[in-house]
Each structure stands twice: as C-alpha cells, then as structure tokens.
C-alpha cells in the first residue's frame, strides 16, 4: 500500500501573469516564486451544482451537473520588506493581485497604491506531495493586520480559474527572499497615529475590500475585481475628549464627518520597514467603549476615501 500524503509537504508557488496574457500559465518556479505562508487552505472546485430535475416514475436522488467552477487559495504571509530598499518583497505578486500598483525606486523604497485599470492577475501552484493543483487568472482581496505582540501579516484570498489537478515533480524551493519579521511592540512599531495624534493601540487592520467575482460566460471565463470598499479598524486606549472625541469625529445627521489621516509604521530594520498611510479617512459610528485589563478602550472604524482617485491608501517599504 502506498505511503500517505503528508499535509506538511505543501509547496505554494505564485507568479504574476503578463497583463496581455490573462489566464496563460507563466510557469512559476520553486527558485523564484515560492511562497512562505501560514493558515493555508485550497478549495479546488468551488461553483454551483445544477440539478437535472428529471420527471421520473419513481423516487430517488437526481444527478447534478457542476457549473461555473473556480478555485480559491487563502493564506497569510508575514508583512516584512525584502531587506533591501527599493527591492520588491517576496509577497509582491499577492498585493498586486489585490488591484494594487507597484512602484520601485532603487535604493530607496517600494510603494503600493490601489488602481482601477490595468489590474494584474496571478497563477498559483499548490502541491501536496506530488499532487499539484493549478489556479490561473487569479485576482484577490486581502487584509493587513498588525496586532500588539503579534507578527504583522497580509491575509489574501485568491480566486482563479478551475483546472484539473495532476501529478507533478516536486520543485526545489528557495525561501531566502523571505526575511524574518519583527513582532509588533512599542519598540518595533514607532508610528500609530490618528489625526496626527499618537495613540496607545492594541491592533490595526486595513481591509483592501476587493469585490472579486468569477464571470463564467460564453467565449470568456475570467475573475475580476468589480469594485472596492476599503475599511480600517483600530482599538485604542481612550483619551480625554479634548484630545480626540470619537463621537464628534463620526459626525451627525446634520454635520459632515471630518476627514482624518491615519498612519501606522512597523519595523526598525532598514529594508524591512512597512509604512501604511490613509490620508483621508472618515470615522464610522462610535459604538461605545470596551474594557480590557480594567482599562477603557475604544474600538474605532474608518473608511479611507479617495481624493483624486486611487489614492485612498499607500503602503511604503523602506
């Protein structure tokens, strides 16, 4: 009897597809495109089942036909720079698949901002043992999370075109592009600001809010980001209302809510620093305080708004 397939034998390769070749396999390799992920799940056969609903002269189950099939890959990557200023991190294809543009300034920085047109797609290989699943034409949504005493991560959900899995040779993988992260703390997370005010904070999340939908039509099957609705959540220690009033900041039925900038920066090692800014945010309705360790805390939510367009947030790696 054959040996069982071990779950911890997973290999994940992800590579961007050329803009003019949607759904064409760019053949990711273990040497260049290996992903270092956690909390990974691969759903190889999402879609619908259409019952034939035949009228028969007897009782019994009906056969269904699988339609609109697609794949979904979900997982976390550690949010840390490449270690070299101006060099893209190993997770670059993932955030670009979330409808973001990448700008490299050699020796200085890598910047990511949202885009509406010219959005990239990715191909993903997911191997368990020698069984290989292939996802093509993938587009994604993601959430960046920074929790105190935790490792900052980008969690992505990639939706792509369905293919039949097959047995393949396991590639050798190179993980040297993935740098060791720093856990979030007072020392390693020097910026945590709302409206220019330094807050004592417990957590931060930026949900990229991409509405990813498969479109399975005649002559064309593809996955598109049809819209976006970003959101930010933060939990902070309460302060006097003279410093920050969350009720006033949320506005009222007669007052327009004031716009506030938000900035969080994590990392203290050059080449591994991640700065997240959303310059024009409107605070959501204030739901009230909560207690943690006998201290009052405020759970706050924000919507980052575009100003000129495609400028509602920026991630800068230095």
Q: For residue 37, give the H/E element and its range.
A: strand 37-51
284/303 Cα distance (integer angstroms) = 7
75/143 Cα distance (integer angstroms) = 11
Alpha helix ranges (H) inside 112-260: 246-250
66 contacts 90 by C-beta, under 8 angstroms: no
38/79 Cα distance (integer angstroms) = 12
140/189 Cα distance (integer angstroms) = 27
Chain centroid, CA 263 distance in Å: 18
Classify residue 141 as left (phi > 0), alpha (psi -120 to 50) or beta.
beta
- Using CA atoms in the order 197, 201, 203, 209, what is the torsion angle rounded to 10 degrees? -20
| Residue owning tokens 């050059």 | 270
302/231 Cα distance (integer angstroms) = 6
Among candidate residues 150, 145, 155, 154, the one with its CA nearest the CA of residue 183: 150
Token couple for 240:
């006097």
225 contacts 99 by C-beta, under 8 angstroms: yes
For residue 198, what pLDDT is reported?
98
Contacts of 140 by beta carbon, 8 Å cutoff, 6+ apart: 94, 97, 98, 122, 156, 157, 158, 159, 210, 212
Chain centroid, CA 203 distance in Å: 17
For residue 3, what pLDDT is reported?
87
For residue 37, what pLDDT is reported?
98
The pLDDT profile of the chain, 318 residues, written as one tens digit per residue, is: 878 999 999 999 999 999 999 999 999 999 999 999 999 999 999 999 999 999 999 999 999 999 999 999 999 999 999 999 999 999 999 999 999 999 999 999 999 999 999 999 999 999 999 999 999 999 999 999 999 999 999 999 999 999 999 999 999 999 999 999 999 999 999 999 999 999 999 999 999 999 999 999 999 999 999 999 999 999 999 999 999 999 999 876 566 678 999 999 999 999 999 999 999 999 999 999 999 999 999 999 999 999 999 999 999 999
What does the DSSP assignment read for 133-156? EEEEEEEEEEEEEEETTS--EEEE
For residue 257, what pLDDT is reported?
72
For residue 258, what pLDDT is reported?
82
146/265 Cα distance (integer angstroms) = 10
């Amino acid at each position: 009897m054959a040996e069982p397939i071990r779950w911890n034998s997973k290999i994940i390769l992800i590579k961007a597809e050329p803009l003019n070749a949607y759904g064409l396999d760019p053949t990711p390799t273990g040497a260049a495109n290996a992903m270092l992920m956690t909390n990974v799940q691969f759903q190889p056969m999402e879609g619908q089942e259409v019952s034939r609903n035949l009228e028969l002269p007897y009782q019994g189950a009906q056969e269904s036909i699988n339609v609109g099939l697609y794949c979904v890959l979900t997982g976390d990557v550690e949010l840390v720079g490449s270690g070299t200023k101006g060099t893209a991190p190993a997770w670059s294809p993932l955030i670009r698949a979330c409808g973001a543009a990448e700008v490299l300034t050699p020796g200085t920085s890598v910047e990511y901002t949202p885009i509406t047109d010219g959005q990239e797609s990715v191909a993903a290989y997911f191997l368990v043992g020698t069984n290989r699943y292939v996802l093509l034409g993938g587009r994604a949504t993601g959430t960046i999370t920074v929790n105190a005493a935790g490792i900052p991560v980008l969690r992505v959900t990639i939706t792509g075109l369905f293919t039949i899995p097959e047995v393949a040779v396991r590639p050798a993988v190179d993980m040297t592009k993935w740098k060791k992260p720093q856990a979030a703390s007072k020392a390693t997370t020097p910026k945590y600001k709302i409206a220019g005010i330094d807050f004592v904070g417990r957590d931060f999340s930026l949900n990229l809010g991409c509405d990813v939908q498969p479109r399975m039509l005649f002559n064309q099957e593809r996955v598109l980001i049809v819209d976006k609705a970003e959101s930010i959540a933060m939990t902070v220690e309460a302060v006097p209302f003279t410093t920050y009033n969350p009720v006033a900041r949320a506005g009222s039925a007669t007052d327009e809510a004031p716009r506030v900038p938000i900035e969080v920066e994590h990392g203290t090692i050059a080449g591994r620093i991640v700065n997240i800014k959303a310059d024009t945010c409107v605070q959501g309705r204030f739901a009230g305080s909560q207690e943690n360790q006998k201290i009052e805390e405020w759970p706050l939510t924000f919507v980052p708004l575009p100003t000129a367009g495609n400028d509602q947030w920026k991630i800068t790696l230095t």
